[in-house]
Amino acid sequence: MFYKLIFVGIAILMLGGCNPEMGRLPFESDVGCLRKELSSPDQPSFQMAANFCQKTDHGVPLPLNLKNAIDLQMRAEQANIAYTQ
């Protein structure tokens, strides 16, 4: 019985990894996260994608790191979203 529960738990974890909307991946850059979110079939607004990709420090949102992404920097300026270059 115990082994069946372990097997089911592992199977659920593995299947959850196949979900395309599983969230921000570990060590994923802000630029990569934004591009992934903006190219998804749902096509969220830039504001929604930025809110999703923004990291926080104890609940305080940190500026997005948009180094070498001029197009995303322009969109962030238009949406009044803080970013670093």
Query: Phi and psi for 4 in degrees, rounded to 5?
Result: -65, -40
* Lookup: tokens for 27: 């060590």
pLDDT of residue 23: 61
Q: List, for the chain, all residue ranges whose pLDDT scores fall below the cut of 50.
A: none
pLDDT of residue 65: 93
**Are 56 and 62 within 8 A, CB to CB?**
yes
